[in-house]
Amino acid sequence: MANETKVTASSSDFEVESRDLACQGHVKSIRLVDSARVGLTALALLCGITILGTSGDALMVYNTTNVAPGFQLPLWPRQFDLRPSVALVVGSAIVVLTNIVSLVFSKVKMSRPKLRNGTALHTPLTFAAPFIGFVAVMISMIFFYAVNASTTVDTVQSWSCQWESVSMQMKPHFGAICKETKTALYLSIILIPVEAFILSVAGYQMMLERKAAGVARSRKGSPAPS
């Protein structure tokens, strides 16, 4: 009888230890994936800020240098489409906002659920943030290319790049505006796979945390060794 009790206790100890090791393995993976997600989110935030700055500046220069149609020296054509530039500004603003929320919430661990060892868990908000950013940048890119494909109406990019070789001592400095609009466009293209990867990493992290939470619950409900 005593031998049976020892075997049972030994078996229980082994199960508890196995669960501890499994939980520790999940926690290490969660921390690694979380660090990768935070790093990519910071990269996306920097891209969004750059896009917002460059596209916003190009749009501001147009607004400040646009001459009324009644004058004989217009710097910009009469038929003009600002929607591609507006789409980049709006899309990048959403990306910046969502990534700031994601980073801030990642650091505020007091309000997040935790495992028994104190590791803060992911929440749907940090998954929703990159999803919203991904959708925003995709819509802005689709809209940009749909409107910019016109061969009859110029945009800020098409007009400024057409005259980028003209040397100007004052604004609008078409060469600089052309570079800004191209920078905003290229970074927006890069931002699409970055946001998609962040979304994938966030989903993988949530899956790991569910497994870790399941192991923690099984530890909590395991019988104490006798």
**Contact (Cβ atoms closer than 8 angstroms) between residue 156 and residue 177:** yes
For the chain, the C-alpha Rg in angstroms (whole number) is 27
- Could you state, in order of their start, the residue ranges of all structural domains in the chain? 14-68+75-221
Kindly report the average pLDDT of the chain as a whole number. 77
**In this predicted model, what pLDDT tens digit does every residue of 53-95 receive, in sequence order?**
999 999 999 888 877 655 545 788 877 888 889 999 999 999 9
pLDDT(214) > 80: no
What kind and span of H or E run contains 90?
helix 83-107
Query: Which of 61-65, 106-110, 188-192 ranks highest by mean pLDDT?
Result: 188-192
Q: Which of 112, 106, 145, 151 is nearest to 129 (CA)?
A: 106
pTM of the model: 0.76
